[in-house]
Amino acid sequence: MTVPPAPPARPDSPPSFIAVVDRCDNFRPPLPTPFSPNHTERPALVPFLLSPTTQPPIGLVRAAIVDALQPSPIFITHRPSHEHPRGYISFAAHITTPAARSRAMHSLLAFWRTVRLFPDVIGPTKWRNELYDIFASPFDVLSADTAEGADGAVPKIEPTNYAFSMERAACALFGVVTYGVHMTVYEQDDDGAMRIWVPRRSATKQTWPGFLDNSVAGGIPSSYTPFDALVKEAEEEASISPALTSARAKAEGSVSYFYQADGGWLQPEVEYVYDLRLQPGEIDGGLLPGDTEVEVFKLMPMEEVISRMHAGEFKPNCAVVLLYFLIRHGHVTPDNEPRFLEINTRIHGRFDLDRW
């Protein structure tokens, strides 16, 4: 059955937000191809499994990573088979616990950094010196009680879904799912008019320097809960007191998308979403940068926010979070957005893990 094309937009119709989604959710995992014993071409992407018996994969790696792992006492490269048409990589048989995986990954990445392998991802200006927790199933229970060690996080308790921890900057090398928090801080008049506090990222940021961002945004460090991370980021980036965030921040769900960076590295991500409504003038002087990651905050009328979203001035995932805000607050509806259903589906994706 052929799906008819969408009707053309009327000349006076606003542009669709689908382009905002396309800038962020811009990757589709390739489907496995039937195995052929005569097939010698290296597949472009290879699944990353915790072990030969674990499913689904936890990451998707490029051929350059497979090559860098030859030979390796930490990882095993498995040949293509009927069950795994593209082959796969997994931790070596003796590396079976979260603590062992964390130590092994730290050792590998530290070596790659020393020899300047993949400098566009883990070079001196990219390395964050911050650990992210990686999970066997990205939509299962996400918790890991960890204690910081000299070479990474050493779990005190090993929940079945917690797999290991690794350097934040290196997650894209292995295509693993990562997690963050985003909070939209806004004001609203009695007539419904909204304004959003929008920061401009510092020109010295490791990623997306100078782009517009969400009011508060950041990754979830190892051993942090989403709300703990939100409180931390709100104080550090926007000088919002922990007491205010704890009392007023409202959890509003999550968004998920599969992003591929310009260099080809894969970044499937989940962002926990929060709103914080302020009364006009409630914070004397408004939001102020609390560290060097934000250059300046501006209280933007909704019309300006939308215009800058369409113009591509926001960091792509921040624009998606703002789009979800617009949907939840009734600014984007099935009646004014012809691609409404596709947009809603795309910003709540599951990454097609079973197809890796």
Q: Alpha-carbon Rg of the chain, whole angstroms?
A: 22
% of the chain at pLDDT higher than 90: 74
Rounded Cα distance between 27 and 257, Å, is: 9
How do the domains of the chain map onto residue ranges?
Answer: 45-174, 178-355
| 75-89, 253-267, 306-320, range with the lowest pLDDT | 75-89
Rounded Cα distance between 238 and 294, Å, is: 8
Q: In the predicted model, what is the mean pLDDT of the chain?
A: 89
Nearest CA to 109 out of 167, 48, 50 is that of 167
Residue identified by tokens 């099935």 is: 334
pLDDT per residue over 316-355, tens digit each?
999 999 999 999 999 999 999 999 999 999 999 999 877 7
Rounded Cα distance between 116 and 65, Å, is: 14
The residue with greater pLDDT, 28 or 299, is: 299
* Max intra-chain CA distance, the chain: 70
Say what the pLDDT of residue 194 is. Answer: 96
Say what the pLDDT of residue 119 is. Answer: 96
| 30-39, 45-54, 261-270, range with the lowest pLDDT | 30-39
Say what the pLDDT of residue 40 is. Answer: 45
Rounded Cα distance between 347 and 255, Å, is: 5
Assign 74 to helix, strand or coil.
coil
Q: Which amino acid is at 124?
A: P
Other beta carbons within 10 angstroms of residue 338's beta carbon come to 17
Topology annotation, domain 178-355: Nucleoside Triphosphate Pyrophosphohydrolase (3.90.79)
Residues 6+ apart with CB under 8 A from 219: 130, 132, 168, 178, 179, 180, 229
Tell whether the model's pLDDT for residue 32 goes beyond 80: no
pLDDT per residue over 84-133, tens digit each?
888 999 999 999 999 999 999 999 999 999 999 999 999 998 999 999 99
Say what the pLDDT of residue 145 is. Answer: 53
Q: Which amino acid is at 235?
A: E
Rounded Cα distance between 311 and 224, Å, is: 34
- Inter-residue contact 215 to 196 (CB < 8 Å): yes
Say what the pLDDT of residue 6 is. Answer: 54
Say what the pLDDT of residue 7 is. Answer: 53
- Inter-residue contact 126 to 169 (CB < 8 Å): yes
- 226 φ/ψ angles, rounded to the nearest 5 degrees: -55, -45
Choose the most confident range, by mean pLDDT, from 4-18, 21-35, 330-344. 330-344
The residue with greater pLDDT, 32 or 162, is: 162
The average pLDDT across 24-39 equals 66
Token output for 68 = 């860098």
pLDDT band at 150 (very low <50, low <70, confident <90, very high): very low
Token output for 148 = 């910081």
User: What is the residue-wise DSSP string for 31-76?
Assistant: PP----TT--SPPSEEEEESSTT--S-SEEEEHHHHHHTSS-SSEE
pLDDT band at 157 (very low <50, low <70, confident <90, very high): very low
Q: Which amino acid is at 101?
A: R
- Inter-residue contact 68 to 117 (CB < 8 Å): yes
pLDDT per residue over 165-208, tens digit each?
999 999 999 999 999 999 999 999 999 899 999 999 999 888 89
CATH 3.30.750.160 fits 45-174, yes or no: yes
Say what the pLDDT of residue 39 is. Answer: 45
The average pLDDT across 37-54 equals 74
Say what the pLDDT of residue 231 is. Answer: 98
| 11-15, 135-139, 182-186, 201-205, range with the lowest pLDDT | 11-15
